[in-house]
Amino acid sequence: MQAWAIVRKAGYVPESVPLEHHMFGMMLGKDGKPFKTRAGGTVKLADLLDEALERARRLVAEKNPDMPADELEKTG
């Protein structure tokens, strides 16, 4: 992949580090329609990960109501 050659040539990633591309399909908005990146309606990765962690913690808390809060915070 051309992007790999660029980051290696720029010195960002050494040859010893393997780079892989993982496709994850189309990202859909709450309305079920694909995000339109040029229209600026996308979600930032950090926000997406925060939401995923919050949902995971909520689910763990539901399934384990006796789990201490500090243990729950380590979830994720």
Token pair of 57 as six digits: 């913690």
Question: How many domains, the chain?
Answer: 1
Q: Are 28 and 34 in contact (CB under 8 A)?
A: yes
- Name the residue type at position 29: G
**pTM of the full structure:** 0.50
Q: Are 41 and 35 in contact (CB under 8 A)?
A: yes
Per-residue pLDDT reduced to its tens digit, 14-70: 999 999 988 878 878 788 888 877 777 677 889 889 999 999 999 999 999 898 888
Q: Is 69 helix (H, G, I), strand (E, B) or coil?
A: helix
Whole domain around residue 62: which residue ranges? 2-73
Average pLDDT along the chain: 87
